[in-house]
Amino acid sequence: MAILIDASTRVICQGITGAFGALHTRGCLQYAPTIVGGVTPGKGGQKDENGLPIFNTVAEAVRATDANATMIFVPPPFSADAILEAAGAEIQLICCITEGVPVADMVKARAVLDEMNLRRTEQDRIRLVGPNCPGVITPGPKTGAGESATDPYTKQGCKIGIMPGYIHTHVSEAPTGKAVGIVSRSGTLTYEAVWQTSNLGLGQSTCVGIGGDPVRGMGFIDCLELFEQDSDTAGVLMIGEIGGTDEEDAAAWAKKHMSKPLAAFIAGRTAPPGKRMGHAGAIISGGQGGADDKIKALRAAGFSIAETPADMGAAMARAMGVEVVAQV
Amino acid sequence: MKIHEYQGRELLDAAGVPVPAGAMIESVEAAEEAYKRITREAGTSLAVVKAQVHAGGRGKAGFVKLVRSAAEAAEAARFMLSNRMVSAQTGAEGLEVRKLLIAAGVDIEKEFYLAITTDRATRRNVLIASAEGGVEIEQVAHANPDAIVKTPIHPLIGLQPYQAREVAFKLGFTGKQVGQAANIMLALSKLYAEKDCSLAEINPLVLTPAREGFVDGQVLAIDAKFNFDDNALFRHRDIAAMFDPAEENPQELRAAKFDLNYIAMEGNIGCLVNGAGLAMSTMDIIKHEGGEPANFLDVGGSATEEAVTEGFRIILADENVKGVLVNIFGGIMRCDIIAQAIANAAKEVGFSVPLVVRLEGTNVQAGRKILEDAQGELTTMQPASDLGDAAKKVCAAVA
């Protein structure tokens, strides 16, 4: 099952001929064979280094490949346009990896997406992940070396984005026999969490990097809701950071709607107010967005709290009451 | 990006928002001359001299002064240009003041607060207004939340005139004041959208007593504070040109040239990390283990070997640094690039302080190999098996 993506997902890359687009298309193909093509306006009809077809528009790519997901690597000034082009072509899962998209562009793009979704059912809705995020991965069992597109790491998973694939563990390979869902505002901190859970004998159902920008697509609550419904997900690890009130909102929602074991970590406990900590969204301002309030709300909602970033996997295991199997 | 008040006033003026006559000056002589010109134009003897720095708390620090003569203006300017400003926001060492704003004084009947910012919860820009102006809006929000009027701005059509009028009436404006206040709100909203602001604040917005030409008084912007979305500066050359490097930490500026995200802190453990979330949590775990981070440094995903080497140069140039922690979980960033940068920095600057390195992720084997080969020059290096181990080791090394 997993959430959002699996081996049947058909992914295109917008910006496939750019340096990053090309690099990560290759990286995704080395993990799982789910990339079916790409888009670069003006290069339609050509093939990329992996032999994938390139199209001028997303609509053309969808007609030719039946793509239902996209990963966007186009530069920041054109990212919102790329998101709306994908939505216009009925792509249901849009992952915008690009960092540095103007907030005003995202305010407009979100408004248009929200309006499109008003006319859609829950099943058909268009989902945006990001921008400024690592993407989404549903791990599969290891079936190959993962060194090349012809010998991918797995034939049963799907990777959309820039995360290192090999640190993830499919439930069938997890000594505890359990997999968790991971949702995070940060990229590399997510890899850290994945690594720790893998080393403790837990697998991952799906990992979603929702991104570090103040205005973005899917949030914590959207992901928690999907994980709650997913039979492969035995618990959820949520990684937040300072800035905004998304973690507090997620805590309040989870208290009412989540039955699965929950764990959380909040980055930036020691960050000074008024300083933007890398992510555009990570800033304590006007007395809001501090880590302590978030941790308090999450604890009250039943989340097991990781006291340090080295404790994320263990906090998840504690919440699930599983006997951990150290693999280091 | 932040700009100075005098630059914010220029933006407001160009957008049609009335501001009292004023000028930016950088010397005592210019203060006298500006005082004479401005007070003559405004028909008053009262003027205000204000230090132009990005930090707040100017009033309490004595860096906002009312003056009634050219001599007083010169004296205020002399004081501000020759003393460092120390406020709650500047730290004990204070800030050098290089620029002053001198503006005509106005009689004030009442003060208001007006601002626009992006509300992340509703994903919309929001107009925030209050009849309790002149003070910190956070204090008003805390003590009397009902005194704040919030109006969502439509993302595609912007603030509408009826909304601005509604706010003006709620703030208690009457007669001809309503149209004046509404026009200021509409102009501010237009400016916010056109210039990709992240904050546009007028505090205080004032109402003057009735006088000739203004039977119901005049609504004026006295102070202006603007922040801009750094991600959108590529389409605003005029705003980007307002950047004042003198207001920034020199090390942070140096790092920014290499697309490194560096923030100086007070401690003694230098950190080099990839990813903002991981960099923040690396600082957290250092504190948890009883240490104090000397900096936040996110090298990002696409930094070159040269940029990462520069990161080490910046860290090692900080005299407070007694130990360095490298924490890399390679995704886009490759461990071999980091390892090569460590080797470069060892050759060029040398790690005389303890260095703890934790590498994981993309190309980790190649990275470890590079470090092994450079061991002769990395005599203070200790490898760490994981993040917890790394934090313990570096804290023990500087203790």
CATH code at position B6: 3.30.470.20
Name the residue with higher pLDDT: A274 or A106.
A106
As for how many domains chain B has, the answer is: 3
User: B113 catalytic, yes or no?
Assistant: yes
Q: Is pLDDT above 90 for A126? A: yes
Among B113, B192, B262, B310, which one carries the catalytic annotation?
B113
Q: Is pLDDT above 60 for B244? A: yes
Q: Is pLDDT above 60 for A327? A: no
What's the gap in Å between the CA of A244 and the closest CA on chain B?
7
Q: Which residue out of B284, B297, B328, B393 would a mutagenesis test of the A interface target, given it has the greatest number of A Cβ atoms within 10 Å?
A: B284
DSSP type of residue B274: S
> Which residues on B lie below 8 Å from A162 (Cβ)?
301, 331-332
User: B289 catalytic, yes or no?
Assistant: no
Structural domain for B257, as ranges: 250-398
On whether both B56 and B139 belong to a single domain, the answer is no
On whether both B134 and B75 belong to a single domain, the answer is no
pLDDT band at A326, cuts 50/70/90?
low
Average pLDDT rounded to a whole number, residues B21-35: 96
Average pLDDT rounded to a whole number, residues A250-267: 97
Q: Is pLDDT above 60 for B73? A: yes
On whether both B310 and B369 belong to a single domain, the answer is yes
On whether both B346 and B307 belong to a single domain, the answer is yes
On whether both B65 and B191 belong to a single domain, the answer is no
Give residue-wise pLDDT tens across range B81-115. 999 999 877 778 888 999 999 999 999 999 999 99
Tokens of B251: 């090390």
Tokens of B282: 């690396």
On whether both B13 and B157 belong to a single domain, the answer is yes
Q: Which residue out of B249, B280, B334 would a mutagenesis test of the A interface target, given it has the greatest number of A Cβ atoms within 10 Å?
A: B280
Q: Of B214, B247, B280, which residue sits at a domain end?
A: B247
Among B6, B201, B262, B310, which one carries the catalytic annotation?
B201
pLDDT of residue B88: 79
Q: Would the pTM of this model clear 0.90, i.e. be above it?
A: yes
Q: Interface pTM (ipTM) of the complex?
A: 0.91
Tokens of A17: 């001929």
What's the gap in Å between the CA of A174 and the closest CA on chain B?
19
Contact B296 A269 (CB under 8 A): no
What's the gap in Å between the CA of A267 and the closest CA on chain B?
5
Q: Of B54, B85, B105, which residue sits at a domain end?
A: B105
Query: What CATH number is given to the structural domain containing B321?
Result: 3.40.50.261
Tokens of A293: 């309030």
The answer to whether A242 faces chain B, any CB pair under 8 Å, is yes
On whether both B5 and B115 belong to a single domain, the answer is yes
pLDDT band at B308, cuts 50/70/90?
very high
Query: What CATH number is given to the structural domain containing B54?
Result: 3.30.1490.20
Average pLDDT rounded to a whole number, residues A296-323: 95
On whether both B307 and B240 belong to a single domain, the answer is no
Q: Is pLDDT above 60 for A180? A: yes
Among A24, A168, A170, A279, which one carries the catalytic annotation?
A279
On whether both B6 and B148 belong to a single domain, the answer is yes
Average pLDDT rounded to a whole number, residues A303-325: 92
Inter-chain CB pairs, A–B, below 8 Å: 175
On whether both B100 and B221 belong to a single domain, the answer is no
On whether both B164 and B304 belong to a single domain, the answer is no
pLDDT of residue A325: 58
> Which residues on A lie below 8 Å from B332 (Cβ)?
20, 24, 162
Q: Of B105, B129, B153, which residue sits at a domain end?
A: B105
Average pLDDT rounded to a whole number, residues B60-87: 95
Alpha carbon of B312 to those of A19, B256, B343, B372: distances in Å?
A: 26, 14, 10, 19
> Which residues on B lie below 8 Å from A188 (Cβ)?
273-275, 277-278, 329, 331, 361
Q: How many residues does chain A have?
A: 328
Give residue-wise pLDDT tens across range B164-210. 999 999 999 999 999 999 999 999 999 999 999 999 999 999 999 99
pLDDT band at B248, cuts 50/70/90?
confident
The per-residue pLDDT of chain B, averaged, comes to 93
pLDDT of residue A299: 97
Give the chain A residue whose CA is nearest to the CA of B233. Answer: A102
On whether both B374 and B254 belong to a single domain, the answer is yes
Crossing angle for the helix pair A58-65 and A79-88, nearest 10 degrees? 40
Beta strands A262-267 and A304-305: pairing type? Answer: parallel
Residue type present at position B371: L
Q: Is pLDDT above 50 for A328? A: no
CB-nearest to B231 from A76, A195, A310 is: A76
Average pLDDT rounded to a whole number, residues B131-136: 84
Task: Convert chain A into a string of H (helix), E (strand) and C (coil).
Answer: CCCCCCCCCCEEEECCCCHHHHHHHHHHHHHCCCEEEEECCCCCCCECCCCCEEECCHHHHHHHHCCCEEEECCCHHHHHHHHHHHHHCCCCEEEECCCCCCHHHHHHHHHHHHHHHHCCCCCCCCEEECCCCCEEEECCCCCCCCCECCECCCCCCEEEECCCHHHCCCHHHCCCCCEEEEEECCCHHHHHHHHHHHHCCCEEEEEEECCCCCCCCCCHHHHHHHHHHCCCCCCEEEEEECCCCHHHHHHHHHHHHCCCCEEEEEECCCCCCCCCCCCCCCCCECCECCHHHHHHHHHHCCCEECCCHHHHHHHHHHHHCCCCCCCC
Give residue-wise pLDDT tens across range B282-295. 999 999 999 999 99
Q: Which residue out of B118, B120, B190 would a mutagenesis test of the A interface target, given it has the greatest number of A Cβ atoms within 10 Å?
A: B120
